[in-house]
Structure formats: structure tokens, C-alpha cells
């Protein structure tokens, strides 16, 4: 299978009064068509910024984003518009991302009208899409606040899929939902992936969700990718001390039970003008001298398994 997306040395920095914030710092990975890559980490680790930079909602500071072999950081305005049709986003809180003054039909139809579709044609596409995502036709004239959280997220999914994208970036799409509704939405997303041949990036802080939905997982810490592996492998043999701490902090990975990530001990380093060395060093019980001054690179450590930690350095001959 070929890679549909390759991200190489991607950086997204923000100028702040306190200095330059390194939200995404030299991140590289690839995804094959039809796969789901879960990106997991605590809040503030840069995972949502990474998703938004890939979708072009934020311009990249440096690096390349190859989508089907083309560098999308160098597209013209027209090419960018076409790219943003092929790569859509589903957001965390459907309530705040949906216009409360528009009906369900208007919300789902808007991207089609902007794309130049005639109203009649657009209406029949909306009806078909509502059926695809399991939204009853009787809701087409309802407003978002008249529907429950699960149905609101189905509207968000329908709007994201109405232009028939190949790639969808899902930013915490089930975090605002009750545990019982989460499973329904995740099952719907898996079903849609198979039926429509979609590829997903799934951004979340919830390890149980990411385990359930992802083929591969990338773990982020303060702007860096610190571990990347197949899902089964990552849960069976986590390498990076941060991944291990994350896994140990989740009391259950059962999707039907309430889960809460406990806070990992130690101070989080600032992502503003970060000091040299490993960014996890202040919280790492295995930190050594080298960790304070040399930043570890993400290198192979096992089949399809990469880790950025001096404990797993390149083998010397
Ligand atoms: Fe811990 Fe050092 Fe590995 Fe960083 S590089 S995770 S500080 S052992």
C-alpha cells in the first residue's frame, strides 16, 4: 500500500510575548491509504496544532506535507482550496463548531453550495448523506440545540464528508460525548472508513479510544513525536518512559467504562524557546546526564517501531 500522506520535519511555531512557542517541532511520519493513525498526548502537546497544520487551517513554519506525493505547503490559492476539499476535519465539540442559527440541512449543504452545486442537486446529496451517517430525515429542519450530542456529532461528520474527501482529520471527535454514545460514533466512523475508503488521523488524549480505532499510534510530548508504532505493539511493548507513564496512568482501557488519565508527576517544561535536551527529562525517572543536553532523535527500535529516547539509542558495532 502506498503512503497517502508523508509529513517531513514539520514545524509550527507561534510568536508570543514570552518568546517563540514550538507547538510542533520537527515531526515526521507517514500514513497509508485506508489506515487510521492515532495521535495521542496530554493537552498542550501540540497534537491539535499538528492536525490543523496538516489540514492547512494553520500555515506550516517549516517542513513538508506530501499528500499523494504533492507538497501541499507550496500550493496556489486554488490548489489549496481543492486540497481542503480532499482533506476535511471533524471537530471535538459539535455544538460550538456548528452554526446554531442554521438548520441541519443548511449546515450539511453549505460546503456544497460554496463549491458551486445547484440547490436541488445539493438537497438530494444532503438527504443521502444524512442516511449514510444515520441521521433520520425528520431532523433536516431541526436546529443543533434541539438534538443530543451524538446526533450533533453525526451532523459534524456529514458536513465533513459531504464533499467526498479521501482523508479526514478527527480532532477529539468523541471527547465531549457520554461514554455510551462514544462507542456508537466510533463504530460509525469505522463503518464509514470501510464503505468510503477513508484515511483518518485521529487526535485524542484518550488512550482507550485511540486503541480502539487506530492501526498505528504516534505519541506526542511538547511538540515532539516520542514514539510511533503499530497499535498492538505499542500497547504490548511501550518503550518511551512517557508512553509507559501514560499507559500506567489509565485505570481501564474498557471503552464502556469511565476513564481518567491521572496527572503524571513532575513539572512540564515550557514549549516557549525550549531548552536543549529531552523535553521529558524533568518528569522522567530514568533521566541521565546526556538527557539534559542532547535531544534524542526518533529512531527505529524494532519492526515498525520508532522511539526518541537515549535509553534506546542506535546500536553500536
Ligand atoms: Fe527519559 Fe532521557 Fe529517555 Fe528523555 S531521553 S525519556 S529523559 S531517559
- Note the pLDDT tens digit of each residue in 82-121: 999 999 999 887 667 788 899 999 999 999 999 999 999 9
Q: Is the pLDDT of residue 261 over 60?
A: no
Residue 254 counted as domain residue: no
Q: How many structural domains is the chain composed of?
A: 1
CATH code, domain carrying 230 = 3.40.50.300
Residue 304 counted as domain residue: no
292 Cβ neighbours under 8 A, 6+ residues apart: 277, 278, 281
32 CA to middle of ligand 1, Å?
30
Residue 109 counted as domain residue: yes
282 CA to middle of ligand 1, Å?
9
Each residue of 209-259: pLDDT tens digit? 999 999 999 999 999 999 999 999 999 999 999 999 999 876 665 655 545
Residue 44 counted as domain residue: yes
Q: Whole domain around residue 193: which residue ranges?
A: 3-235
Confidence (pLDDT) at 317 = 42
Ligand 1 mutation target, pool 220, 241, 268, most atoms within 8 A of CB = 241
Each residue of 132-155: pLDDT tens digit? 999 999 999 999 999 999 999 999
Residue 306 counted as domain residue: no
Q: Pick the more confident residue, 100 or 194.
A: 194
Amino acid at each position: 500500500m502506498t503512503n497517502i500522506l508523508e509529513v517531513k520535519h514539520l514545524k509550527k511555531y507561534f510568536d508570543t510575548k514570552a518568546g517563540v512557542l514550538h507547538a510542533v517541532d520537527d515531526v515526521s511520519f507517514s500514513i497509508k491509504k485506508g489506515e487510521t493513525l492515532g495521535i495521542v498526548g496530554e493537552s498542550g502537546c501540540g497534537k491539535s496544532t499538528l492536525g490543523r497544520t496538516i489540514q492547512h487551517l494553520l500555515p506550516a513554519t517549516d517542513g513538508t506535507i506530501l499528500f499523494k506525493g504533492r507538497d501541499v505547503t507550496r500550493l496556489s490559492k486554488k490548489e489549496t482550496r481543492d486540497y481542503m476539499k480532499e482533506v476535511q476535519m471533524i471537530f471535538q465539540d459539535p455544538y460550538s463548531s456548528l452554526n446554531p442559527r442554521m438548520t441541519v440541512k443548511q449546515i450539511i449543504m453549505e460546503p456544497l453550495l460554496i463549491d458551486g452545486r445547484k440547490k436541488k442537486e445539493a438537497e438530494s446529496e444532503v438527504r443521502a448523506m444524512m442516511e449514510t451517517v444515520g441521521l433520520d430525515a425528520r431532523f433536516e429542519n431541526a436546529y443543533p440545540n434541539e438534538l443530543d450530542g451524538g446526533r450533533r456529532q453525526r451532523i459534524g461528520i456529514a458536513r465533513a464528508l459531504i464533499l467526498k474527501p479521501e482523508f479526514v482529520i478527527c480532532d477529539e471527535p468523541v471527547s465531549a460525548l457520554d461514554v455510551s454514545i462514544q462507542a456508537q460514533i466510533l463504530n460509525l466512523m469505522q463503518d464509514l472508513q470501510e464503505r468510503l475508503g477513508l484515511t483518518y488521523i485521529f487526535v485524542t488524549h484518550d488512550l482507550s479510544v485511540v486503541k480502539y480505532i487506530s492501526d498505528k499510534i504516534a505519541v506526542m510530548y511538547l511538540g515532539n513525536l516520542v514514539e510511533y508504532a503499530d497499535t498492538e505493539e505499542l500497547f504490548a511493548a511501550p518503550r518511551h518512559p512517557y508512553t509507559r507513564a501514560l499507559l500506567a496512568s489509565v485505570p481501564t482501557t474498557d471503552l464502556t467504562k469511565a476513564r481518567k488519565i491521572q496527572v503524571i508527576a513532575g513539572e512540564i517544561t515550557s514549549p516557549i524557546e525550549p531548552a536543549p535536551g529531552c523535553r521529558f527529562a524533568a518528569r522522567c525517572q530514568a533521566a541521565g546526564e546526556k538527557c539534559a543536553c542532547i535531544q534524542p532523535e526518533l529512531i527505529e527500535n524494532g519492526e515498525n517501531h520508532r522511539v526518541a529516547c537515549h535509553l534506546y539509542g542506535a546500536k553500536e558495532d
